[in-house]
Structure formats: structure tokens, C-alpha cells
Structure 1
Amino acid sequence: MDRIVLTGVGPLTPIGKGKEDFWNAVVNNFPGIKKITKFMPDQEFYGGEINDIHFDEYIPDTKFRRATEISKFTMSAAKMAMDDAQVDSPNIKNLGLVVGLTHGALNYTQSYHELLVTEGPESASPILFSDSILNAPAGNTSICLGIHGPVHTLIGGSVTTIRAIMLAVQLLATKKMEKSVIASAEELNKFSLYCYYRLGINTLSEGAGALLIEPEDTKNNQVPYCYISGFASQTNPSNLQSALEESVETALKKANLKAKDVDLLMTSPSFPKVQQLDAYEIPMGSLDSITGNAFAVSTIWNVILSALCIRHGAIPLPILKNSAPINNEIRNVMICATESEGVAGVLILSKIS
């Protein structure tokens, strides 16, 4: 199997849009957590908000002007990643798309059901319904960007991005795709903010991220950021720790690496200790304090930042959660994600030598 390389990234975040703005914001510890202004809740909520973007800069097609924000986020991030990789979709027969979502278009879903209940079926807009289904962001993106290969949507928490990457790699390996866009998106919703606040989960955020991956032998003038050297995902509802440790072990084995070879570990703030990694002083990083928690999107932001760390050969100090020594060269970055239901996922990106 040819190595799968990452050739394009597209971050759409509360701290920056596009790879240059995103990287500079992280390096300079730009605060993305602010008072949310798009709703008028009874109490103040703080999080990461996308409120200064003009979608026609990314998506000039006016037929998508009434699409949900989560679809617009997905389209914009995917377009950034394709442009970054210099991919022209009409010339690629089997360009595929895998989208990982956590909540979907909550605002359109809420509006549709509110009209349905209060005013009857005649008043419920079919546009609200069609754009609120969970695979609408993937469908809109494939139509908008001319993606004619396989299109998939995965639903879940923060591990969903890693599983979306794993699915895309599998489809590339079996030649069902020539190249693949992987995207994740999230939109803020007033009622979900209330619900998560009551559960003690604060500083939620919205936005999107996208990657473009392809086999290394693909004819492309772009210099890859890195290659995908290892990955794994396990589920153990009764023992999250076991699922995580097994995922770490499997991913390291696939990458032919030892734990001591990992130069950076990107995680969530609540990441549990891992036996295989604790014996080594590995720098640990997290974006949540800067960007807020966007569930599956937070994981793809971690993947994008990891690729940029390998490209720049540096780790931005504001993301670090410990004082471990930093290597002069960033060769291997491990991205870990966990969910309270006992789901774990691990992805390893490695420098191309």
C-alpha cells in the first residue's frame, strides 16, 4: 500500500481562517473565547464564534446562500483544503469526501420543528427540512465543489474525525477514491448551549476544518505536509482507559514507532494518563483553551495544527499543557481523542524524510 500523504488543510476557526491566520493566531495566543453574540440568551455564554466571514469569498455559487451555517462552514473549509492542495475537482473522477459531524444543523432542525408544531405542516419550509438532515453538509459540499466520487457522513463525538480519516485511507487503499477530502463542522445553537451548560460543559465553539489526503505516488506538484503513519480506534464502554491504551499500542505498531519517538501529543484538556506514554516526557498540547470545544471539529483542528507543526518544525508554546523538553525537529505527532462512552481514537502523523 502506498503511503497516504496530507497535501491540503483548511481551518475555519474562531481564531483564524486559513492556515496562515490559524498558525499565527496559535503562535501569538490569540483568544478565541468571547461572549457569544449571535443569540440573546437569558444569561451570558462564552465560546468560540464564527461571525466575521463572508462566504461568497469561498463559495460564489448563489444557490447555496440559504444553506445552513454548518453546510457553509463545511463547503468553505473543504474549498480551502482543495485550493491548498491545488486540486481541481472536475479533473479528478474519483475525488471523494468523508464528513464527520457531532450535532448537525441544529438551528434549521429547531426552526423546522417549531413551525411544524406551532403553525402546521403547511408553514414548515421544505428547505429547513432538507438542509437539516445529517448528511446535508456532505451533499451540499459535493454538489458545490464538484466532488463526484464516494461521499460519506459519519456521526459521533471527538473520535469521529479520526474514524473519518481511517475510512478515507481504506477507500484510497482499495482504489475507490483517487484523493479524499475529510471535513468536520459544527454550528452553535442556543438550546444546545443551555443543555451542555447544565451538564457542566462550557466554552463550546463552532467552525470547520478540512484535509486533503492522497497516495504518495499521485502526480502532484504540492509538497506534502506529512504522511499518515498510524491510526487505531477502539471501543470499550466499561473501560475507556483500556480502549485508549489499546488504540495507542496499535497505532504505534502500525507506524513502526516507539512511544519515545513521539515529539508531540495533541489531546483534549481532560485526556487521561496512558501507561505507554507516561514513561517519557512528551510535550502535550491542546487547543481548547484558545478555540473552545467543538467536538469532532476540535480533533480536526488538532490534526491541522499537528501538520503545521511538522511543516514549520516548531511547537507553539501557548498550546502546551506541560513543561516537557521540546525536540529541535518535529518528526512524529500523535493526536488522541476520547469520548466518555468508552470510545478512543489515535492518529499519528509523521514527517516525510
Structure 2
Amino acid sequence: MEVFVPHQKDRNIYLDEIISFSNHNFIFGNYKEYRDLYKIVNIQFPEAIFDWKSPSTEELVNFELQLLNWKKKSKIVYTMNDFTTHYDKKNKFSEVFSLIHKYSDGVIHLGKYSLDNYEKYFSSSCLHTIIYHPLYNSLTEDYMTKEIQSLVPTDLTNKFIVSAIGGIRSKEELDLILKIFKKLPIKNKFLIVPRMFQFIIIPDYIPYRFRKYYKRLIEKKYCFSLSKNQYFFSARFLEYSYLVDLVKRSSLMIIPRIKNLNSGNLYLGLTFDKLMIIPEIGNLTETANYFGLPLLDLQNKNYKEVITMVLDLKSNQYYSSDKYLKDKHFFHPEKIAKDYDAFFNLLGEFK
């Protein structure tokens, strides 16, 4: 069976993990490149359909016509990485999400929280299933790495490295990271955030030659309480060769999400058996509970309790326990791929 993904492949390789074990052929392309022979149209990231650029009214009209055309010969399956874009201040993608909700024939939820809270927003004929996010196993198989130290001016030797992977999309996420970092009772701690300040929009009236100074002012504003030799922030999307080295060297990972349904960072941490501070949100709660991992209650702010419990996991050798290693198999990409194939096959049986 050929599965059409109506956008270019995302830099997040989680779908590649599934594709490598799937019996189906996944084809990526512009949404206008659809062909009748595709049995499944699998939408992963709605914003990517328009290359992460705000669609015009005309484009939205054409997209709805495309959706109606797809439904004649294919089944539309939405993998719900999120129900909507929480950090889209101008709501430029809200209509795209609404159209996908309206016309989906099937929805893959990445956890029970998603299914319980969002099934009602789809048509009564839409089929729903839970298929979890896979581990990033391909990154562990003799993956060629580059040293993160080459990008960081501070010597990382003997540092307790705390990392927050992924773009930081709001001031609230930034505050969460800094609050956790400051509360860690560790002297040689060092914070690395490769894509900090993604939420900062530089005003158009600031000339390009002054923008690097503007960024420095922003950094000083938010990080005045940190010593410069305590952190390294950047604005780049790390190549996986550097990312893998950073994760391997990290003593602790912070999952810096407060609104999201899901976060691939959680599964990245599980892949490499890393200590993590995990917020109690969305589907993350279910996965953390499955492994018996502590959760940070963002309302009650149980920082001290959670930090203590997380650090104790290392001394208790939790990540080398037979139970933990056995539980990880539940999220192996091969199993997740079989679940995808089964759901696609089920939908393919319906006319």
C-alpha cells in the first residue's frame, strides 16, 4: 500500500523510525501532487502542508477542495501530534487544523489523554486509535556523532550537563527551564539549550546590522541571574550528529513543554536512558506513569520533590533494571510500525 504524506519530510526523524519497519511505502510531496492510487493520506504536521507559511484565503479554499478529492479514493489519517498550534499568535494555521479535523477518516492519537479529550471534535464516522510515539533507535546504532564541545566555548569536562532539546516557543517555557536549573542542588551544573529564544520576534524596524545586539540584550534580560559560565544558548537546529552527542553527555534532560499534547524529547530521553524532568501535561503523563517516572505538577510546583526523586533514580540504577529495559520494548519502532500498518489496513477495508 502506498501512503501519501502531503508535505515534505520533517527534520524530526520520528516518522523515519516507523517507516523503516513498515510494510507500506510512504511518499512525501506537495499536497497538490496527490494521486488516486494512494490508499492512505497521512497528515503528520498540518503547518508543513504550507511550508510553515501562512496560507491565503485562496489556498485554504483549494486545500479544502483537495481534501474532498482525496476522500473519493483514499482515507485521510491525521496523526495528532497536536490538536492545534499553541504558539501561533496570529492563528494563521487555525483554519488548516479545522479542515483536517472536519475531513479526517481516521485519527492516530499518541496517548489516551488525546483520545479522551479530542475524539469529540471529529466526525462520528471517523475511526480513532492510540499508537504511541516510537523511540529513536536509529540514533543508537553506531550513529556517527560530532562533539558538542566544538560548539560550546566553555570546557564541559566534569560538568553536570542539563539540556533542553527543541525550540523554546514561549517565555513560559524559558521560565520553566531556568527555574528547574536554578533549583538543582549541583555545583558544577551547566545548561545547554540549542534553540533558545525561538519565541522572540525581532521587530521589522530594527536594521539587520543591529539585530545581533538586540538578541544579546534579550539574553541578558532573561538570563541576568545566571553566570555566563553556567550556560550555552544558541538559535540553531542542531544536526543529529551533534544532538546525539549532546544527549549522550547530558546528565539531565528538561522537557520544556507546558501546553503540548506530546513531546518527542521524552522518547529521545528514554532512548538514551536519561534522567528527565517531565511536566505533567497531555500524553506525557501516560508515558511517564507507564515507566513510573516522577512528574512535575505545573500547578502545585513540586520542583524540589521531583528533582530529588529524579536524581534518586540514578543512585537506584533504575535505568539498568530489568523492568525498565523490558518496558522500553513497548515503544520500539518495529512495534509502532506494526500498529500503523494494522490501522492503515483496517481503514483500507472501508469503502
* Common topology (TM > 0.5): no
**Normalised TM-score (structure 1):** 0.30
- More strand per residue: 1
- More helix per residue: 2
Question: Which structure is larger by alpha-carbon Rg, 1 or 2?
Answer: 2
**Normalised TM-score (structure 2):** 0.30
Q: More relative contact order in 1 or in 2 (CA 8 Å, sep 6+)?
A: 1
